[in-house]
Amino acid sequence: MRTPTSGTDREPTSPRTTSQHPEAPRDMMDSSFTFLRVRGIAIGAHWSWLVVAGFVAWSLGSQIYPRTHPGLGDRSYAVMGILTAVIFFVSILLHELGHAFQALKEGMKVHGITLWLFGGVARFEGMFPSAGAEFRIAIAGPAVSLVLGIGFTAAAFFGDAAGLAEQVVGVSAYLGRINLIVLAFNMVPALPLDGGRVLRAWLWHRQNSFTAATMSAAKAGRAFGYVLMGTGFLGLFTSAVTGGIWFIVLGFFLLQAAQSEAQYAVIARTFRSVRVRDLMTPEPVTAAPTLTVEEFLDWARPMKHSTYPVGEDGRLAGLVSIRMAGAVAADQRASVRVSDVMVPLESVPVVGPQTEVMDALANLRSGLGRAVVLDGDRIAGILSVSDVAKAVELEQARGPVDEPEAKSAGVLVWVVVTLLMALAAAAFYRPPLAVVSPADAIDISNDFTIDGVPVDEPSGRYLLLAVEVSQPTALGALFAIVHPRQDVLPISAVIPEGVGDTEYAEEQENVFRESRMVAAAAAARAAGFEVSLSGSGARIAGILPGSPASERLRTDDIITAVDGTPVNLAGDLANIISGRPAGTTFEMTVQRDGEELQVRVASTRLERQGEGRPSIGVLIETRDFEMDLPFEIDFRDRRIGGPSAGLAYALAIADMLDPADLADGRDIAASGTVRIDGEVGPVGGLTQKTAAAEATGADILLVPDEEVGDTGDTSLPVRGVGSVGEAIVILQGR
C-alpha cells in the first residue's frame, strides 16, 4: 500500500555541471579535498558530500533496512548501511568516470571530478568539439549506471536463488534499484542533466546552432526545476518535510544551473571567433618584486587598475593586487616586499594572445579573476573577468545576433518536453499522503456459521461498510483532493512511524478478527446468553509519530490498568480513552521488560483515516485473548482491517439468534465499533462509507450516535445508535 518517500528514504541523484560555465556555483563544484587520481584526473569531494554520505548510511541502517529486512539485528543494519553508502558513491564515481573517459577520447581536457551534495560532477574545460561528441560524452555516464543497475539487480536475484545471506541480497537489491533511479533521473531531458545534454546534442545537430539548442534545452531544465520545487512544496504540507526541502533545494539548483547554461551559450556565441588579444589590456605596467609594500602602494595610487603583473628582468615573476598589499600591517609595510605577498609564478593563470576567449575563461575563474597574457616569455597583456563582462554587455547592447543557419526548434519542443516531465513527476512520485476512498459494501450475512443453538437465516442482507486506504501518486493525490468522496491525509495519520506495511496490515487484520468475536459476544448477550471474554492487557503494536503516546509509551508495552480500572481487552483501553474529553490525563499501569511502571499520558483529538476523536495515538491488540460463547461460531476469512465492522456483524449474528426476522428482506448497512457489553463506538470515514451504502442500494444506514452528522447529504435513512440493543429495537420497529 505504501512506497517509502520520507526524507530519510530519499535517493541522492547526480546532476552534472561542467567548468565551462562561469556562472555555475563554483564553491560547490570545487573539491574541498582530493583523495585519488585516475589517468591524471583529480578526484575529490566537497565537504557537503561528507554530510550526505553520513546521512545516507544512517538512514539505510536505521530506517530503510530494518523495515525491508526485519529481524537482522542492529549491527547487521549498520554494516549494511555503511557498505551500501560506500558502494553507492563508488557507483556515482564510476558514472562520472564514464563521462570523463569519453571526454578524453573526444580530445577534451578534464578538470576533475567532485563528489558533492547532489552526487557527483565531472568538470571539463572548453567547448564540446561537436554535437556528436557531446552526445557520446553525455550518454557514457548513464550507460555505466545502466550496467551497474542491471548487474546489482541480477546479483540480488541469483544470490537469493542460491541462498546467500539476506544481508548480501538486500544490499545488492538496493544498489541495483538506486543505480536505475540515478539513470532515470539523469536521463530527464533537461539541462544540466545528462538527458538535457543528449537533447541539446540532438537539437544542436538538427539546428546547426549550439546557442539555439542550449536555449531550448535550458527551458526544459528550468521547467523541470519548477516541477521539482512544486513537488517539494507539496511535501512540506505532509509528514515528509525533509523530502520536500530536498526537492526544493534540488529544483532550485537545477533552475540556477539551467540559467547558467543559457548564459554560457550567450557568451559562447559572443566569443565564438574572439581571441584573447582582442579583449586584453595590452602592455600592462609591471611591478618590481623588490618594491616594498609601502612603495608599491604609493606607486599604484595614480594607476587605474587594482592588480598588476610582477616582472623581473622582463620576465613574469608573479601577480600582485592592492588588496594583497593592503592586508599587510601598516607597521610592516616598509620591510615586507612585493615578492613576499604576490601570487607566485607557478600559480598565476597564463594564456596566450591567440587563445580563444572561451578556452581562457576557465583560467579567469580561478585566483584573482585575471590571467596574464604571455607572448613567448614577454608579458603581452592582462585579461580580467571585467574585460569579458564588458564585451558581453556591449554585444548585448547591439541587439540579438542573427543565426541564419539555425532552424527553430519551436515552442512545441520544449512545451512537450515540459509536459512530459510534469506528467512523469506526477505519475511516478508518491508523496507521503494517503487517500481514503469508499470501498465496495460487502454482504456478511453468510460470513459465519453457528453451531450448538437454534438459528434462523436472515431474510435480508447486512452490509459491511469499509474504506480503502492507498498511497497515491502526486497525480492521484490531486484528483483525490477535488473528489467529493475522498479524503487526503498524511501517511503518518494512517501508518505509525517505524511500522512496516506488512506489519501494519497484520495488526489491523488481528483487530478485525478480534472485533468479530467481540461482536458475536455482544450479539449473544443481546439474545440473553451468558458470555465471557478474557485477556491480560492491551499490547501496544504501534505508535503514531508526534502523538501523546510517542513521548511516554513504547511498542510492546502492556497496559493493564487505567486510573485504577483494570484493562483486560484492547477495547477496554479504547473505550476508557474515547469516553473522556480530549486533554484528559490518564494514569496507566504499564508492564515493560518485566517491570511494572506508572505512566501519565494525556489524550488529544487525532485525525486518523477521517476519524477525529479522543486518542493517545496507539495501535493496540489484546494479549492472551480468549472468549467463552454458548455456541460455536466460525467466520469466513477476510482480508479486512480495523474494528469498524463490529456493528454489522453483531446485528447479523443477533438476527440469526433471534427468532424474529430483524432484516425483513431489507439491505441494512451499518458501521460502528462494538464493546462486549453492546455499546457502539465511533468509527470515522463515514463520508466514504455512506457513499458505498448508497451505491449498493441500502435501505437503511445505522451509525454511532455521535457521528450521524458525518454522513453528509444523503438520501438514505440514517439512524444513530448507542448500543446493539438500540439498533435491534430500530430494526424491529421497521
Residues 669 and 693 sit within 8 Å (Cβ to Cβ): yes
592, β-bridge pairs: 595
Amino acid at 391: A
**How big is the chain by its Cα radius of gyration, in Å?**
36
The C-alpha cell 541480497 sits at: 169
Judged on CB neighbours under 10 Å (0-12, 13-18, 19+), 262 is: buried
Cell of residue 171, nine digits: 544490499
Residues 557 and 539 sit within 8 Å (Cβ to Cβ): yes
Q: How far apart are CA 730 and CA 705, in angstroms?
A: 13
Q: How far apart are CA 440 and CA 464, in angstroms?
A: 9
Neighbours of 196 (CB within 10 A): 30
The C-alpha cell 570523463 sits at: 100
Cell of residue 693, nine digits: 451504502
Cell of residue 137, nine digits: 560524452
For residue 508, give the nearest of 633, 383, 609, 385 by alpha carbon.
609
Element (H or E) spanning 578, and its range? helix 570-578
For residue 727, give the nearest of 683, 687, 688, 674 by alpha carbon.
674
Cell of residue 572, nine digits: 477496554
For residue 573, give the nearest of 538, 534, 527, 535 by alpha carbon.
538
Amino acid at 106: E
3-state secondary structure of 320: strand
Cell of residue 343, nine digits: 601570487
Q: How far apart are CA 476 and CA 429, in angstroms?
A: 10
542, β-bridge pairs: 619
Q: How far apart are CA 22 and CA 345, in angstroms?
A: 24
3-state secondary structure of 499: coil
Q: Of 11, 23, 96, 551, which residue is the catalytic one?
A: 96
Residues 307 and 321 sit within 8 Å (Cβ to Cβ): yes
Q: What letters, b where the CB count within 10 A reaches 16 and e where it falls short, cover 653-672?
A: bbbbbbeebbbeebbbbbbb
Q: Is 356 a catalytic residue?
A: no
For residue 372, give the nearest of 276, 437, 451 by alpha carbon.
276
Question: So which residues are the catalytic ones?
Answer: 96
